[in-house]
């Protein structure tokens, strides 16, 4: 399901205009991203938790040159599914 398909399905299910549904989806996603970017968790009970995880710096080899290079440490997004979400998928 694409973002556009999700917006259309949400609009139909919640009896919203597509414009209003798009606003809800965009604002929710922006809020999740901005909160996680501040190293805070977003926990949606039953659905899951969004958070930023620290990834250590690593040594890699450039396949073109064969030289070692250091990939710096960075934060990466992590999603952990909630119990109800996992149970719904298991059925």
pLDDT at position 33 is 97
Whole-number average pLDDT of the chain: 96
pLDDT at position 84 is 96
Q: How distant is the alpha carbon of residue 53 from its chain centre?
A: 12
- Region 31-55: what's the mean pLDDT? 96
What CATH number does the domain located at 3-90 have? 4.10.520.10
């Amino acid at each position: 399901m694409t973002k556009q398909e999700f917006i259309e399905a949400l609009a139909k299910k919640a009896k919203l205009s597509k414009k209003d549904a798009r606003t809800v989806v965009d604002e929710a996603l922006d809020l999740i991203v901005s909160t996680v970017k501040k190293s805070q968790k977003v926990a949606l009970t039953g659905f899951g938790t969004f958070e930023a995880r620290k990834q250590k710096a690593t040594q890699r080899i450039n396949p073109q040159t064969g030289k070692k290079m250091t990939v710096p440490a960075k934060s990466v997004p992590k999603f952990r599914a909630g119990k109800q979400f996992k149970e719904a998928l298991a059925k």
